[in-house]
Amino acid sequence: MNLGILFSGGKDSYLAMEMAAESNEITCLLTINSSNQDSWMFHTPAIEWTKLQSKSLGIPQIIYNTKGIQDEELEDLFELIKNAKNKFSIEGIVTGALASTYQSTRIQKICNDLGLWCFNPLWQMPQETLLQKLLENNVESIITGVAAEPFDDSWLGRAINSECVNDLMKLKSSYRINPAGEGGEIESFVINAPLFSKKIEISQSRKHYSNYSGRLEIMEASLI
């Protein structure tokens, strides 16, 4: 089946894509670039650099810009998926939704209206399982956003490796953090993975941080 993936560039959408690619053809990446940093639907840090991931994956990408106003962003998402259906003859959509019924309900409705299948391979997956799966599958990602206590700015840019996963699991018990960031506690960006032909090297970046909330602005990056 030809599928499009709702792709934010983070660990969840990549992992969902890898699972879907085992028995399907991923023909396009669908990315929403929201100017609302607090969007409930779309994750924003480093979104402009997904174009490098698209190049490394060898999968074409459609990017739509949205202001991120609650109902309007859904209309933008509808148009994006409709466009992908027409342009790439996709029969279904894959998402990295884990537990957010807010996101999944809205995407299910759009897919049903457009007669498309909707696949959520990570749905209800325990967050520890997800993190372990990332490590087992050699998915290299970094933290590009934090939004919860006790994350300080040293977390920005940190590789999500086994040491980081251990630290996140500790925060689960001490601070009730969702260790995979399902509650928006962390955002991530994949820099290398099995489906990538080249690794992404970030040569220049800047941290923006205050009061347990921050993001890593990638200023210069390239495929190596």
Partner 1 sequence: MKILLISTCTHTLNNSEFVIPISDILGDIEHDIMHFEDCNKEILSNYSKIIICGTSMQDFTYVDWLPFFDDLLKEFNRPILGICSGMQILTSIFGISGLIDKIEIGFVEVNTLISNKLFDGRFQAYNLHNYSVNDCNEFTILATSENCIQAVKHMAREIYGISFHPEVRNQEVVKNFLNI
Sites of contact with partner 1 (CB under 8 A) = 1, 19-20, 22-24, 92, 101, 105, 108-109, 111-112, 115-126
Euclidean distance between CA atoms 81 and 25, whole angstroms: 16
Report cis status (omega within 30 of 0) of the bond before 126: no
**Would you say 101 or 174 has its CB closer to partner 1?**
101
**Would you say 24 or 132 has its CB closer to partner 1?**
24
Least distance from partner 1 to the Cβ atom of residue 97, Å = 9
Sheet holding 117-119, edge to edge: 61-66, 25-34, 2-6, 92-94, 117-119
**Would you say 89 or 112 has its CB closer to partner 1?**
112
Euclidean distance between CA atoms 69 and 47, whole angstroms: 18
Least distance from partner 1 to the Cβ atom of residue 202, Å = 31
Is 215:187 a contact under the CB 8 Å cutoff? Answer: yes
Q: Which residue has the tokens 């590789």?
A: 159
Least distance from partner 1 to the Cβ atom of residue 215, Å = 30
Least distance from partner 1 to the Cβ atom of residue 22, Å = 8
**Would you say 105 or 222 has its CB closer to partner 1?**
105
Euclidean distance between CA atoms 61 and 126, whole angstroms: 29
**Would you say 110 or 177 has its CB closer to partner 1?**
110
What tokens were used for 27? 């023909």
Alpha carbon distances (Å) from 186 to 11, 97, 181, 198? 11, 15, 5, 25
Least distance from partner 1 to the Cβ atom of residue 104, Å = 9
Is 151:104 a contact under the CB 8 Å cutoff? Answer: no
**Would you say 84 or 116 has its CB closer to partner 1?**
116
Least distance from partner 1 to the Cβ atom of residue 2, Å = 13
